[in-house]
Amino acid sequence: MKQPFDEMLQQVQAGAAPWQGQGQGQGGQGQGLGGALFSAENTRAHYRTYLQWLERQPSEVMQRRRDEAEMIFRRVGITFAVYGAKDEDGAGTERLIPFDLIPRVIPRHEWADLEAGLVQRVNALQRFVEDVYHGQQILKAGIVPAAQVLGNAQFRPEMMGVDVPGGVYSHVSGIDIVRAGAADGSGTYYVLEDNLRVPSGVSYMLENRKMMMRLFPELFAMHRVAPVAHYPDLLLETLRGVSPAGVNEPTVVVLTPGMYNSAYFEHAFLAQQMGVELVEGQDLFVRDGFVYMRTTQGPRRVDVIYRRIDDDFLDPQAFRRDSTLGCAGLLDAYRAGNITLANAIGTGIADDKSLYPYVPKMIEFYLGEKPILANVPTYLCRERDDLGYVLEHLGELVVKEAHGAGGYGMLVGPAATKAEIEAFRAVLKAKPENYIAQPTLALSTCPTFVDAGIAPRHIDLRPYVLSGKTVQTVPGGLTRVALKEGSLVVNSSQGGGTKDTWVLEA
C-alpha cells in the first residue's frame, strides 16, 4: 500500500489549469474583463469561444450579474445550514453557497472517458456491497481484509442475507473527482472519494444551470452544452424501476429529517421536481409488513422511499432507540421485500475512506477489468508502517477521518501551523484506525470571478450516477470551488462555492 512519498507526488502533482497550459491558471492580474486576458496559444481549445465572449464583458456588468444571482438564490431559499454555527442571537445560521459566474467546461471526449470510468466503478461497488451481505467472496479471497469490513461502523449485520429489490444498493452515487497532472493542461482525473450513502448537492447542479441560462442566454446559443435539466425525470424513472416485485404503479416519497437539516432545500426541491410527496418519519407507519403514508384521504401505501436520513435514524426499533426521525418497523418491512429504500441500508460500507484504497482491486475481482479511473495513492493509518510514515510527513500530507464528511476533521498539512500539526499528531496517535492520508494534490484550477477580479481557484467535480434497471449519468455534475486563495478545501461547510459544469456536445 505504501509508496515512497516522492514517487507518489510525481504521479499526482503539477496541476492542470483549464484555461492555460501553465499551472498558474489565470493570468488576468490587473487586467479588466474587456482586455486580452489570454493569448490563443495558452488557452485550451474548448474555452476559447467563452473567453472571446468574456473579453467583451465590462467588469461592472459581471458584478451586477453576480449580485442578481445572489438575490435570486436568496429569494428562492437555496441555502444550507451550518451545524454548530450561530448568529449574533445564538440561533443556527443558514448560508448561501456562493455561486461563481464562470463555468467549468469539459470537452466531450474527456467526459466520455470519465463516464465510462464512473459506470465501471459504481458497478463494482454495487457488487461489493451485495457480496458483503451475502457470500463475502472478496473477504474469503483475502482481497479486502475481513476485519476492516466486519468491524466497520458502517457494516450492518441486520442486512446479511437480505435481497434488496432489483439487487440495487446505491441508487444514487456521487463520485468526487479531481484533476491533476501535466503543466501543459493534459491532466489526469483521479477519484478522490466515493459517496454511496446519501450524496447531496445535485440541486445546486440544477439551479446553477438555470441561473446561467437566465443570466447569459447568449452563451448557450454559442455553445452546444449537454443538458442536465432532465435529472429529476431520470431519478424518478430509476426509483420507479426498482419498486418491490408485483407493484405496477409505485408510490415514491422523499424522506427528510426535517427543515433543520443542512440539505433540507434539496430534499424539498427534488420532491417538487419529481412530483412526489416530501415526508418526515412521523408521516409514515408500518402495518402488516407494509409502509403507509398518512394523508387527508386516509392511509396510502408507499413503495419506494428516497431517504435522506442516515441508517442509524431510520428505524428506532432496529437502530437508535432515541431517533424520532425514522419509522418504527421499517427494517422489518424492508427485509420482507415490501419497500425499496434508496439508498439501501448498509451501503455506507462502500464509501468508507478506509476501504477506498481497495476499489481498484474490487473492479478487477468483480468485473475482470482494469480500472479506468485511478485512485489517489493512500496511506492507511491503521497499518503500522503507514502510520509511521504519515506521522513523519504530516506537514506534507492531507489526513482525513475515515468516516468523515463535509471537510470536517481533516488536516491539510502544507496549510497548517506547527501548533495545528502537533495537535493533530496527538489525535492521530490516539486513534490511528480512524484516519487515512494522501499526498497534497496540485489540483487543477479554474478562473473564478472573485472580489479582486478573475483569479485561479482549485476545483473538484461530483458527477451523479443513477443505478436502477440501467446505470445512467447526466453530463457533468456539481463543480465545487475553493474560493479562498490557495485553499484545497472545496466543501460548502468550509466556505467553498459552486460553478455550472458544461460538457460540450461538439
**pLDDT tens per residue across span 23-47:** 333 333 334 453 444 555 667 888 8
Residue with cell 437566465: 214
**Residue 450: CB partners within 8 Å, gap ≥ 6?**
457, 483
Interval 146-154 mean pLDDT: 91
Q: What is the mean pLDDT of the chain?
A: 86
pLDDT higher than 70, residue 355: yes
Interval 104-123 mean pLDDT: 96
pLDDT higher than 50, residue 12: no
90-94, 237-241, 366-370: which range is least confident on average? 90-94
* Phi/psi at 446 (5° precision): -130, 135
Residue 315 has what pLDDT?
Answer: 97
Residue 96 has what pLDDT?
Answer: 78
Question: Cα torsion for 256, 310, 498, 181, to the nearest 10°?
Answer: -160
**Residue 40: CB partners within 8 Å, gap ≥ 6?**
48
Q: Which tens digit of pLDDT belongs to each residue from 406-456?
A: 556 788 888 889 999 999 999 999 999 889 999 887 778 888 988 888 888
**Residue 190: CB partners within 8 Å, gap ≥ 6?**
12, 177, 178, 179, 180, 373, 374, 375, 376, 441
Cell numbers linked to 220: 448557450
Q: How far apart are CA 39 and CA 48, in angstroms?
A: 10
Cell numbers linked to 121: 466503478
Let me know: does 180 contact 14? Beta carbons within 8 Å: yes
77-91, 366-380, 394-408: which range is least confident on average? 77-91
Q: Does 480 or 491 have the greater pLDDT score?
A: 480
In order of 243, 315, 468, the CA distances from 333 in angstroms are 13, 11, 20
**R_g (Cα) of the chain, nearest Å:** 23
Q: How far apart are CA 470 and CA 242, in angstroms?
A: 10
Q: Which residue, 377, 406, 407, 374, is CA-closest to 393?
A: 377
The pTM score is: 0.87
Q: Does 287 or 497 have the greater pLDDT score?
A: 287
Residue 346 has what pLDDT?
Answer: 96
Cα angle value 90/66/107 (rounded, 5°):
115
Let me know: does 468 contact 242? Beta carbons within 8 Å: yes
Query: How many CB atoms sit inside 10 A of residue 297's CB?
Result: 6
**Residue 142: CB partners within 8 Å, gap ≥ 6?**
none
Amino acid letter, residue 82: V
Q: Does 182 or 149 have the greater pLDDT score?
A: 149
Of the pLDDT bands very low, low, confident and very high (cuts 50, 70, 90), residue 94 is low
Question: Cα torsion for 220, 503, 169, 314, to the nearest 10°?
Answer: -50
3-state DSSP assignment of residue 223: coil
Residue 87 has what pLDDT?
Answer: 47
Residue 221 has what pLDDT?
Answer: 93
Q: Which tens digit of pLDDT belongs to each residue from 179-227?
A: 986 544 557 899 999 999 889 999 999 999 999 999 999 999 999 999 9
Q: Which residue, 90, 98, 166, 86, is CA-closest to 126?
A: 166
- For 477, left (φ over 0), alpha (ψ -120 to 50), or beta? left
Q: How far apart are CA 380 and CA 356, in angstroms?
A: 10
Interval 158-175 mean pLDDT: 95
Q: Which tens digit of pLDDT belongs to each residue from 269-314?
A: 999 999 999 999 999 999 999 999 999 999 999 999 999 999 999 9
Let me know: does 480 contact 464? Beta carbons within 8 Å: no
